[in-house]
């Protein structure tokens, strides 16, 4: 009799796990409920925000002048690099016309967001950013850093959004090898190391150590061309049908402060 | 037994423990962070006479799942599992000294951990490391301090 009491709540919990993990029936309920809970994150983040504010106010003028000088130099350097990039884009367009390519890279728009909190353990790898649905941040949008892909928005409330990192074991990204276009799907490795593996690449696939994988637009959930990671380990297990390829992400998730949320043009 | 209404105390404990559980910590400390909500819930369970233990465990667990973006029901089933153990040793827990209580907290945390890992294994796989045992250990170590501070809140 004593064990019967927890049976109903336990069964409810198990049913919810199955419904959430295998189907998407609870997505709307979760989204709406999370919006109600967003003030908790706001309150937890308040001391940090205040520290940032005090730190910003406390910066002396000399430090700001030096920083301004450095940023101006960096801006000039980036403008110079952008000219080369623009030339490459023009050349690419000309070549595309010549060979009559039917697709073109979309002109995405970016929204800058500050990271509020990072939650990285072997069980889940997520971060929370300070922009949400009030800033047109929507679920499934891709998040990038200065060096490469960070992850994908999985939850958006009016005040903040949750990003599932590319290294999360439940996060899958369609990718292609820059060198030869060979396609695969990355999946985070359930460990504290924060690596990824590329799945579904057969033994005859041409992959070498140091190869770079970028996002491919297969499936339509990720825009193409953003760097994901570099191959650091390849093996061919006898009992598996596919290669074991380990990627090191270009973006160091522990050093992030700001990220860009990429949205497709309307 | 208690000077506050049970639900008010539960509300206070839930508020504090959820705040503690969503604070962002460095990776290593995150692995060692105790299951705050479970520990606070055990405290409430021990010092309050109530018949709706498992329904509250379910609701608290679902709240935690929403806050952490976990699979819905994962923390709920883990919290129910720990609650079953604590309810069975409640009388003994209440009269035990702090070190025996620490053992009970360790076992409850271990049950919580095992259920959580089980759910992860079924859904996405799990790469085992001994670091996962840090959370039950720190939970047991911190229990006397938590007990002392919660006693202040209770009164």
- Least confident range from A97-106, A212-221, B32-41, B90-99: namely A97-106
Which residue would you say has higher pLDDT here, B117 or A193?
B117
- Separation in Å, CA B22 to CA A119, A186, B38, B67: 9, 28, 14, 7
- Pairing between strand A196-199 and A161-165? unpaired
Which residue would you say has higher pLDDT here, A264 or A157?
A157
Q: How far is A256 from chain B (nearest CA, A)?
A: 13
Report the mean per-residue pLDDT for chain B.
Answer: 86
Give residue limits of the domains in chain A: 7-58, 107-266
**Any CB–CB contact under 8 A between B130 and chain A?**
no
- Least confident range from A159-168, A214-223, B31-40, B59-68: namely A214-223
- What is the domain count for chain B? 1
Question: Mean pLDDT throughout B111-135?
Answer: 83
Report the mean per-residue pLDDT for chain A.
Answer: 81
Residue among A5, A17, A118 minimizing CB distance to B54: A5
pLDDT of B85 reads 94
Question: Domain range holding B140?
Answer: 6-154
**Distant-in-sequence, close-in-space partners of A60: CB < 8 Å, separation ≥ 6:** none
Q: How far is A78 from chain B (nearest CA, A)?
A: 33
- Whether residue A122 and residue B83 make contact (CB cut-off 8 A), yes or no, is no
- Whether residue B73 and residue A13 make contact (CB cut-off 8 A), yes or no, is yes
| CB of A194 closer than 8 Å to CB of A167 | yes
Which residue would you say has higher pLDDT here, A4 or B1?
A4
- Whether residue A12 and residue B66 make contact (CB cut-off 8 A), yes or no, is no
- Whether residue B83 and residue A117 make contact (CB cut-off 8 A), yes or no, is no
pLDDT of B127 reads 66
Report residue A250's pLDDT band, with 50, 70 and 90 as the boundaries. confident
pLDDT of A121 reads 65
Question: Mean pLDDT throughout B8-28?
Answer: 82
pTM of the entire structure?
Answer: 0.70
**Distant-in-sequence, close-in-space partners of A244: CB < 8 Å, separation ≥ 6:** A197, A233, A234, A235, A236, A237
Nearest CA in chain B to A172: B124
Q: How far is B108 from chain A (nearest CA, A)?
A: 16
pLDDT of B89 reads 92
Residue among B19, B30, B61 minimizing CB distance to A120: B30
Model confidence pLDDT, tens digit, residues A108-117: 788 888 888 7
- Pairing between strand A244-249 and A109-120? unpaired
Got the DSSP string for B70-99? PPTTHHHHHHHHHHHHHHHTHHHHHHS-HH
The secondary structure of residue B132, as a DSSP letter, is: G
Which residue would you say has higher pLDDT here, A61 or A75?
A75
- Whether residue A190 and residue B119 make contact (CB cut-off 8 A), yes or no, is no
Residue B1 located in a structural domain: no
Nearest CA in chain A to B113: A123
Size of chain A in residues: 266
pLDDT of B38 reads 94
Question: Mean pLDDT throughout A120-133?
Answer: 79
pLDDT of A266 reads 47
| CB of A136 closer than 8 Å to CB of A111 | yes
pLDDT at A119 over 80: no
What is the H or E stretch that residue B67 is in? helix B53-68
**Any CB–CB contact under 8 A between B76 and chain A?**
yes
A interface test, pick of B124, B129, B130, B135 with most A CB neighbours within 10 Å: B124
- Whether residue B127 and residue A41 make contact (CB cut-off 8 A), yes or no, is no
- Separation in Å, CA A53 to CA A48, A49, A56, A58, B24: 9, 6, 5, 8, 19
Question: Mean pLDDT throughout A62-82?
Answer: 83
Question: Mean pLDDT throughout B22-41?
Answer: 83
pLDDT at A65 over 80: yes
Of B45, B40, B32, residue with least CA distance to B85? B45
| Percent over 90 (pLDDT), chain A | 7
Of A7, A63, A151, A10, residue with least CA distance to B76? A10
Would you state the CATH architecture of domain A107-266? Beta Barrel (2.40)
Greatest CA span in chain A, whole angstroms?
78
Question: Mean pLDDT throughout B97-103?
Answer: 93
**Any CB–CB contact under 8 A between B30 and chain A?**
yes
**Distant-in-sequence, close-in-space partners of A47: CB < 8 Å, separation ≥ 6:** none
Residues of B with Cβ-Cβ distance to A152 under 8 angstroms: none
């Amino acid at each position: 009799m004593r064990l019967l009491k927890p049976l109903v709540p336990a069964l409810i919990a198990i049913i919810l796990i199955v419904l959430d993990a295998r189907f998407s029936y609870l997505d709307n309920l979760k989204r709406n409920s999370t919006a109600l809970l967003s003030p908790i994150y706001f309150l937890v983040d308040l001391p940090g925000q205040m520290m940032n504010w005090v730190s910003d106010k406390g910066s002396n003028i000399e430090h700001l002048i030096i920083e301004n000088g450095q940023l101006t130099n960096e801006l000039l350097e980036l403008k110079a690099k952008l000219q080369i990039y623009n030339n490459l884009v023009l050349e690419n367009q000309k070549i595309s016309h010549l060979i009559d390519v039917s697709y073109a890279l979309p002109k995405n728009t970016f929204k800058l967001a500050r990271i509020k909190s990072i939650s990285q353990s072997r069980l889940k790898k997520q971060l929370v950013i300070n922009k949400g649905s009030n800033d047109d941040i929507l679920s499934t949008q891709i998040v990038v850093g200065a060096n490469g892909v960070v992850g994908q928005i999985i939850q958006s409330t009016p005040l903040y959004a949750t990003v599932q990192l590319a290294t999360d074991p439940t996060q899958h990204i369609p990718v292609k090898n820059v060198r030869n276009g060979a396609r695969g799907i990355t999946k985070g490795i359930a460990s504290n190391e924060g690596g990824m593996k590329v799945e579904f690449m057969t033994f005859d696939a041409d992959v070498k150590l140091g190869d770079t994988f970028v996002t491919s637009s297969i499936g339509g959930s990720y825009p193409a061309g953003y760097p994901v990671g570099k191959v650091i380990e390849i093996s061919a297990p006898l009992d598996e049908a596919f290669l074991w390829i380990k990627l090191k992400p270009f973006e160091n998730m522990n050093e992030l402060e700001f990220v860009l949320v990429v949205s497709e043009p309307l | 037994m208690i000077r506050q209404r049970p639900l008010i105390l539960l509300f206070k404990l839930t508020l504090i423990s959820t705040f503690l559980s969503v604070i962002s910590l460095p990776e290593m400390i995150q692995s060692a962070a105790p299951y705050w909500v479970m520990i606070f819930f055990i405290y409430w369970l021990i010092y309050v006479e109530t018949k709706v233990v498992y329904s509250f465990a379910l609701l608290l667990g679902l709240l935690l799942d929403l806050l952490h973006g976990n699979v819905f029901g994962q923390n709920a089933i883990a919290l129910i599992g720990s609650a079953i153990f604590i309810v069975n040793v409640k009388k003994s827990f209440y009269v035990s000294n702090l070190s025996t209580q620490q053992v009970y907290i360790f076992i409850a945390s271990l049950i919580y951990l095992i259920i959580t890992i089980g759910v992860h294994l079924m859904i996405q796989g799990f790469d085992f490391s001994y670091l996962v045992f840090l959370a039950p250990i720190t939970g047991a170590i911190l229990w006397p301090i938590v007990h002392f501070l919660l006693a202040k809140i209770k009164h």
